[in-house]
Amino acid sequence: MSEIFTIAQLSDPHLSSLANVKMKDLLSKRVLGYLSWRLNRRAKYRPEILADLVEDIKFQQPDHIVITGDLTHIGLPQEFQEVKDWLDALGAPAKVTIIPGNHDMYVETDWESTFALWYSYMSSDIAEVFRSCVRQSCFPSLRIRNSIAFIGLSTARPSAPFLAVGSIGPSQLQALERVLVEMGERRLFRIILLHHPPIFGTVPWRKRLIDHASFRSVVERCGAELVLHGHAHCTSIREMVTKNHVIPVIGVPAASARSQHPNRGAQYNLYRIIRQASTWSIQFSVRGYSHAEKRFIGFGAPVEIEQAVKFRVKELP
């Protein structure tokens, strides 16, 4: 008897428009982000491509959708509202889980006019465990769907001009350890969501996850079944090999990117998590935007069973 749960992962949609931004909102690092949007990013991240991606995801009917950060450009309140409207059209908060990216916390910002608008898509199921939600303290988030535990981290933090670093921080790491152990004891399939790639070298130094080594230590001790990230804006399929675990670490290009490059154009990933007797396995496939067909299509064959075996990550007793 097998149990199958399908997850769609998209990332870095950068879906907001800065067309009507007021100059008074740009008196900070945001002016650099605004200039980047005017000169480059608004041509690169296209709402019509993102709309096609959403249509394709809905046709695929995944059980859950995860978005691994960077929904905005410079984290303005008006962008958060724009994203909130888009999320409401995408799906119910119970079926959509998001975490923030560095662009969503471009500078220090007021929680109530920004992240509070996304709360229903970020919040944990277990309110008594994760009671307070003030800035990053609602992370790690925990959402359980069937046998899947979605564990969300925030790596978003303001950084100096021309840097896009992230960090998890000691308090989140401490809580992550507890959640991984508890969910492992319940034999759930633990998926860690974070914006910055946790494997050093996946992105340039100026975009790195500062405390990647601490994250690795926690995962080494506690295990996890899958790690999903964004930020790199390209396809990235790697593994975190520890003494007791081989954990797939997978990133996806920006969901709205107009690019002919096979690894940098708009894509999303589908993961079929299969529980069969005492074994978990993952089969994943990539759907990407075809400029020739002007729609999303399957990129390559879905990962076959033999390859899925490579991603068998946990033998249950």
What's the closest the beta carbon of residue 120 comes to Fe ion, in angstroms?
A: 23
User: How near is the Cβ of 195 to Fe ion at its closest, in Å?
Assistant: 6
Three-state SS across the chain? CEEEEEEEEEECCCCCCCCCCCHHHHCCCHHHHHHHHHHHHHHHECHHHHHHHHHHHHHHCCCEEEEECCCCCCCCHHHHHHHHHHHHHHCCHHHEEEECCHHHHCCCCCCCCCHHHHHHHHCCCCCCCCCCCCHHHHCCEEEEECCEEEEECCCCCCCCCCCCCECCCHHHHHHHHHHHHHHHHCCCEEEEECCCCCCCCCCCHHHCECCHHHHHHHHHHHCCCEEEECCCCCCEEEEEECCCCEEEEEECCECCECCCCCCCCCEEEEEEEEEECCEEEEEEEEEEEECCCCEEEEECCCCCHHHHHHCCCCECC
Nearer to Fe ion, 163 or 181 (CB): 163
Residue 211 vs 225, nearer CB to Fe ion = 211
Report in angstroms how near the CB of residue 112 gets to Fe ion at its nearest: 24
Q: How far is residue 142 from each of residues 97, 123, 128, measured CA to CA in Å?
A: 10, 8, 12
Q: Which is nearer to Fe ion, 66 or 282 (CB)?
A: 66
Query: Cβ of residue 207: shortest distance to Fe ion, in angstroms?
Result: 7
Residue 87 and residue 72: Cα distance in Å, rounded?
12
Give the residue with the Cβ less far from Fe ion, 251 or 288. 251
- Residue 245 or 258 with smaller CB distance to Fe ion: 258
CB of 131 to Fe ion, least distance (A): 29
How far apart, in whole angstroms, are the C-alpha atoms of residue 39 and residue 28?
A: 18
CB of 52 to Fe ion, least distance (A): 22
CB 77 within 8 A of CB 114: yes
Residue closer to Fe ion by CB (options 73, 287) is: 73
Min separation Cβ 278 and Fe ion, Å: 38
Nearest distance from residue 70's CB to Fe ion, in Å? 4
Using the minimum distance from each CB to Fe ion, give the nearer residue, 8 or 99: 99
Q: Of the two residues 13 and 101, which places its CB atom closer to Fe ion in the complex?
A: 101
Site residues for Fe ion per CB under 5 A: 70, 101-102, 231
Give the CB-nearest residue to Fe ion. Answer: 231
